Amino acid sequence: MSRTAQPSQQPSIRHTALAAVATFCLLSHAHAQSTWTLTTLHPPGPAISSQLESAGPLQGGYITLSVGVQNAAVWDGTPSSLVNLHPPGATRSLVQGGGDGQQVGRANFLSLEVPVRAMLWTGSASSVVDLHPAGWAFSEANDAAGGQQVGVAQFSAAFVTSAVMWTGTAESFVRLDPPNGTGASRALGTDGVQQVGTWVGGFGGSSNIRAALWSGSAASHVDLHPESGLLSTASDVSRGQQVGYVRLPASQPGGDPQDAASLWTGSAASWVNLNPAGASSSRATGVFNGLQVGSARTALGERASLWRGTAASWVDLHAFVPPQYSSSRATDISTVNGFLIISGDGFNTATNRTEALIWTAPGPDCDTLDPAPVNTSVEFEAVQAIFTGGAGQPARCTTCHSPSTSAGLSLAPENAFAALVNVDSSQNPTLKRVIPFLADSSLLFRKVNCNNPGVGSRMPLGRPVLSLDEQRLIRDWINQGALLRQRVLGDGFE
């Protein structure tokens, strides 16, 4: 792999000049990962350091003007595009996360009765919204997506923290404290559907911090902590995948515990250790479409990192950073105009400061899925449930693909199976909607897995795309023969 570092003055990643990096191809396998291009976002002016916490069309973070004095900031892909979000009257402000055009964090006000308050912005200082819930002693927001903001608040009489969620206003405040917790919890990430963070179970204390997953309410809490861990944290979530780290016991007597970057898919039993071979520790901080980012500590120092679901898939993003940077970390990952963008920062030994960085590369056309099957015997009933919803889940497809408004295809329970398997597409009769045993050649799978399926648009149209596990379920059903029901033989499934 070659190392490419772009000049710091680049056109915005939101404009056509980003096509200059189109020659850098992102291949489908992590071991064949191509060259990424790097942009330094540290702005001209008096800032002594800059850090990025969120990726996306706008990159959120903060600049440090002097020791202990930070200003929340947002960038649009270039150093000169920085917009200072610092609220009037604040002594300190930080962007700690964000997504879908929103930035969230906190601001300090010496003039207010509650000095530390959760803040929401949409790209400008004048857009600031104070999210602090009335009657509470402290609040901060850590992430935003899909119109949700998540964070933590502390009630004045309790001296414990509560994971919280907002939908754009202080009055929309919802507590996510698990019913069986000790009252100490934090929400760190959201994708607009699920929320992740930490909670304290049992007798409490820092040694019992456990990764947590919610779906919009305290009652929906799921404990993600694996049995082998000393403590754990979930930092981000995207379409059914959660990332963070698990602290593992020392591998030998007298040794130190190891923080291992971690991946979950909705349960403690799904935990995957992402720590790369040879790394003494690692943490994952961002996830998007089957890709995970964070940092790993190796013999060469802290290295910004990318994974595709396994420890063996690790990509050292620091390999694309100029040699004057002694360390780096990746904090978030997203897409902009078909390009992957990873936010982070690195320490520049030439300037003796931490500087905001972004890595960019052409994004994959199709989502990256774990090759392992979700279930070794998928029946069509499970696929139909994705189409029609159920058990508290909304209909994903049948609002359009119904007998009355079929858009050329009815996915209603009485029609779907017969309308899919070995049936020509109405959009292109040379293609089959479902070809048994061949998911990659089946238009149904490409429609839900790829941004450009080759015929028409990605589905569901105008709605959130299917989770990675929902896509895998459809893939596995097709690859197992696209049967209505599995036929059970004496020695197992046919």
Distance CA 472, CA 17 (A): 35
Q: What is the DSSP string of 332-383?
A: EEEEETTEEEEEEEEEETTTTEEEEEEEEEEPPSB----SS-S-SS--HHHH
What is the number of residues in the chain? 494
Mean pLDDT computed over 367-390:
86
Residue 490 scores a pLDDT above 50: no
pLDDT band at 217 (very low <50, low <70, confident <90, very high): very high
In whole angstroms, give the CA distance from residue 143 to residue 313: 27
Given pLDDT bands bounded at 50, 70 and 90, which one contains residue 75? very high
| Span of 286-290, 302-306, 402-406 with lowest mean pLDDT | 402-406
State the average pLDDT over residues 354-372.
88
Mean pLDDT of the chain: 87
Greater model confidence, 420 or 255 = 420
Task: Give 338's pLDDT tier (boundaries 50, 70, 90).
Answer: confident
- Tens of pLDDT, residues 145-165: 999 999 999 987 566 889 999
Question: Which element (helix H / strand E) includes 468?
Answer: helix 468-479
Task: Check whether 179 has a pLDDT greater than 60.
Answer: yes
421 exposure class (CB count in 10 Å sphere: 0-12, 13-18, 19+): buried
H/E run at residue 401: none
pLDDT number for residue 452? 82
Q: Is the pLDDT of residue 182 over 80?
A: no
- Are residues 201 and 211 in contact, defined by beta-carbon separation less than 8 angstroms? no
Question: SS3 breakdown of the chain: % helix, strand, coil, rounded to 5?
Answer: 15, 40, 45
Torsion of CA 260, 266, 268, 274, to 10 degrees: -20
Q: Six-digit token pair at 383?
A: 């696929």
Question: Does residue 89 carry a pLDDT above 70?
Answer: yes
Of 34-48, 98-112, 203-217, 336-350, the one with minimum mean pLDDT is: 203-217
The confidence band for 208, taking pLDDT boundaries of 50, 70 and 90, is confident
Q: What is the pLDDT of residue 1?
A: 28
* Farthest-apart Cα atoms in the chain, separation: 76
- Buried residues in 306-336 as b, exposed as e (16+ CB within 10 A): bbbbbbebbbbbbebbeeebebbbbbbbbbb
Kindly indicate the confidence band of residue 279, based on its pLDDT and cuts at 50, 70 and 90: very high
Residues in contact with 147: Cβ distance below 8 Å, sequence separation at least 6, in sequence order: 100, 167, 168, 192
Its sign, for the CA torsion 13, 19, 21, 27, is positive
For residues 78 and 41, the answer to whether their CB atoms sit within 8 Å is yes
Task: For residue 350, give both structure tokens.
Answer: 């030439």
Would you say residue 231 has pLDDT above 60? yes
Buried b / exposed e over 141-157, threshold 16 CB at 10 Å, is bbbbbeebbbbbbbbee
CA distance 117 to 107: 6
Assigned architecture for domain 16-362:
7 Propeller (2.130)
pLDDT at residue 487 tops 80? no
CA dihedral 372, 374, 375, 376 (to 10 degrees): -20
pLDDT at 204 over 50: no
Angle, alpha carbons 457-215-95 (nearest 5°) = 85
Q: What percent of the chain has pLDDT over 90?
A: 65
% of the chain residues with pLDDT over 70: 87
Q: How confident is the model at residue 30 (pLDDT cuts 50, 70, 90)?
A: very low
Q: Residue 434: how many CB atoms within 10 A of its CB?
A: 22
